A and B are shown apart, each in its own frame.
Chain A
Amino acid sequence: MSDLFIQGIVVFVLAAFVGFEVISKVPPTLHTPLMSGANAISGITIVGAVTAAALDKGNAAVVLGFLAVAFATINVVGGFLVTDRMLEMFKKKPGGGK
C-alpha cells in the first residue's frame, strides 16, 4: 500500500472517532437539522466531482462529470439551505407559550 493510502486510512479512522464524539449527545429536537446538515457535508464529494470533471477528457467524462458536479451541488446547496430554513424556524419563538 502506498503511504498516501495508509495516511488516508489513519485520517478516516480518526475523523470517524471525532464524528462519534461530537454528535453522541444531541437532543431529539435537533435530529432532523443534524441529519440534514451532515447530509450537506457529505456533499464534500463536490470537490472530487469538480476535479474529475475539469481534468478528464472524452465524451463519457463530459456527461459523467457534469452529472457528478450537478448531483453534488444539489446536495451541498440544497442541504445547507434547507437546514438553515429549519433552524430559522426553531429560533423564532417570541414569548410563545411560557
Chain B
Amino acid sequence: MITLLYLLAAVLFILGLRGLGSPRTARRGNQLAAVGMFVAVIVTVADIYDEPRVAWGVVIAGLVVGGAAGAWLALKVQMTAMPQLVAAFNGFGGGASALVAAMEVVRDPSIFTTEIAVVVVLSLLVGTITFSGSFVAYAKLQGLISGRPVALPGGPWFNAAVGAATVAVGVWAVVSGDALAYWVLTALAFVLGVTGVIPIGGADMPVVISLLNSLSGVAAAMAGFVIGNQALIIGGALVGAAGLILTVQMSEAMNRSLANVLFSGFGGGTSGTEMSEQPVNRATPEDVAISLAYAERVMVVPGYGLAVAQAQHAVRDLANALEERGVTVEYAIHPVAGRMPGHMNVLLAEADVPYDQLLDLDHANPRFPMTDVALVVGANDVVNPSARDDPNSPIYGMPILEVDKARTVVVIKRSLSPGFAGIDNPLFYLDKTMMLFSDAKAGLENILAALEAL
C-alpha cells in the first residue's frame, strides 16, 4: 500500500514536469508536483507512525524551521536575485541527500553490503559537491565573491588531482568499511564542489546552475538507493534527466562542450586580447530618443546588465511609450543571456511583457535586417559579431543575435569595458552604432524622458 502511494506521488511528479513544459499548463504542473510531494511526505509519516520511539521532535523541528525559511526566501526574494535563489535551494537539496547518507555512516558502515557502500559513497560525493558547488555559485551570483573566473594553482590539473584522490578514497571507503574513509571522502567532495565552480565565470553560470540542478536529482536518487526508497529513486532520476537536458541545451547555445565550460576557465584574463583604440559614436539620450521615435520596428536585446540594474520595468515603460507612437517593439532573447536558463524571460515577465513578444534566437535573427533600431541593453558577448566573423576569436562559432544587421544599433552600457569573455566587441565601433554610456535603468529612463519631451 505504501509503495502504491509512493507510485502515486511519482506519477504526479511526471505529470507535473510535463505540465511545466508548456506555458498554458505550467502553473498547474507545478501544483501537481507539489501535491505529489505532499502525498509522499504524508505517506512517510504514516509509515513510521507505529514504530516505537520515534523522534518526532527532530522531524517536526526540521519541518517547521525548513518550511518557514523556504517560504520566507521564496516570497521575499527579488526576481533579479532568482539565479542565486535557485542555486541556494539546489544546494540545500544536495546537502540533505548527503546528510541522509551520512546518517547511515554514523550508524555503522562496517555492515554495509558492497552495493550499499557504493551508493552511500555516491550520495555523499554527489550531494556534497552539489551543496558546496551551489553555494559557491550563490556567492558569485550574489556578488559576495568575484564573478570572474578565478584561476586555481595548476589550473584544471588541480581539480583532476582532487578528483583522483576522491575516487581513491571512495574505493578505500567501500573496501574498508571504515567511517573515517567516508568522512575524508565528504571533505574532498566539499573541496571539489568549491574548486570546481570557482574557476567558472559568470557568463557560464546558466550551464553551471542547470548542471548542479541535475546533480541534486542524482544525489536524491542515490540516497533513494541507500535507504531503499523508490520514490526518491524516481524523483531523483526525473530531475537528473531534466537538468541534463537543460545543461546540454545551454552548452550548445554557446557552441561549447560541457567539458570545455567546466574546465577551461574561459576568459580567465590570460587571453591578452588588445582593446582597440577606435573611436565610437557617443550618443545622448536625446539622440537615442529621436532615432527610436522615428523607427517602425525596434528590437530590444536584453542581457545581464538589465538584471543587474533591475531595469526590466524601465525597458517596459519605454516600450509602452514607443508602442503608443505606433512603433512595433519586440525582444530578442539569447538562450544564455543572463545567469540562468530563461533568466531574461522571467525578468520581462515580471514587468508584464507579454511572452509572445519575446523571440528566441531562430526567430529573432531573420528580423534584424527589417529592424530599424536594435536596442542592446546590458548585453555584450551574445551580440558580438566576431563570434560569427573572426575565426581567431575565442567565442568563434557561438550563435549570436545579429544586431549588426539592423539599420541602427543602440548600445546602453556602463563603459567600453569588455564583456565577460574579455574580448573586444567590434559592434561598438560600427558607424551605425550609437553608444549610450550609462547604467541600464538610468539610461532607459533618460531616453523615455527625452522621448516624452519630443
Contact = CB atoms under 8 A, between A and B. Distances in A.
Q: Do A and B bind each other?
A: yes
A48 B224 contact: yes
Contacts of A13: 237
A4 B102 CA distance: 21
Nearest to A15: B237
A54 B26 contact: no
Contacts of A98: 354, 356-357
Interface string A70-97: 1111111111111111111111110011
Contacts of B115: 1-2, 5
B342 A30 contact: yes
Contact of B356 (A4, A70, A85, A97): A97
Contacts of A38: 17, 20, 213, 217, 238-239, 242-243
B352 A54 contact: no
Q: How would you classify the secondary structure of chain A's contact residues: helix, strand, loop or mixed?
A: helix
B302 to A, nearest CB: 13
B73 interface: yes
Contacts of A40: 30, 33-34, 37, 89
Contacts of A68: 62, 96, 99-100, 103
Interface in A1-51: 1-2, 4-5, 7-8, 11-13, 15-20, 22-51
Contacts of A7: 230
Nearest to A25: B21
A12 B53 CA distance: 33
Contacts of A27: 22-23, 360
B98 to A, nearest CB: 9
A36 B29 CA distance: 12
Nearest to A18: B14
Nearest to B63: A73
B220 A44 contact: yes
A25 B17 CA distance: 12
B309 interface: no
Interface string B225-258: 1111111111111111111111000000000000
B89 A87 contact: no
A84 B209 contact: no
Given A19-B241, A29-B342, A36 B86 contact: yes
A11 B233 contact: yes
Given A35-B340, A35-B342, A73-B66, A54 B92 contact: no
Nearest to A27: B23
A73 B96 CA distance: 9
Contact of B99 (A16, A18, A71, A87): A71
Interface stretch (B41-49, B159-167, B261-269, B441-449): B41-49
A89 B350 contact: yes
A24 B86 CA distance: 21
Contacts of A45: 93, 96-97, 100, 219-220, 223-224, 232, 236
B30 A37 contact: yes
Contacts of B18: 22
Q: Which of B37, B226, B240 has the most CB of A within 10 A?
A: B37
B95 A71 contact: yes
Contact of B216 (A39, A56, A70, A80): A39
B322 to A, nearest CB: 11
Given A49-B99, A55-B51, A37 B74 contact: no
Contact of B96 (A39, A49, A57, A97): A49
A80 to B, nearest CB: 4
Given A23-B21, A41-B238, A73 B350 contact: no
B99 A64 contact: yes
Interface string B1-32: 00000000110011011101111001101110
B343 interface: yes
B357 A97 contact: yes
Contact of B71 (A30, A54, A81): A81
Contact of A32 (B14, B221, B345): B345
B227 A52 contact: yes
Contact of B69 (A44, A57, A70): A70
Nearest to B66: A73
Contact of A8 (B225, B246, B352): B225
B276 interface: no
10 contacts: A16-B241, A22-B238, A28-B341, A30-B23, A33-B30, A51-B48, A54-B55, A57-B55, A82-B77, A86-B82
CB-CB nearest 3 A-B residue pairs: A69-B62, A73-B66, A19-B241
Given A18-B14, A65-B103, 5 more contacts: A11-B234, A16-B237, A48-B97, A79-B93, A80-B37
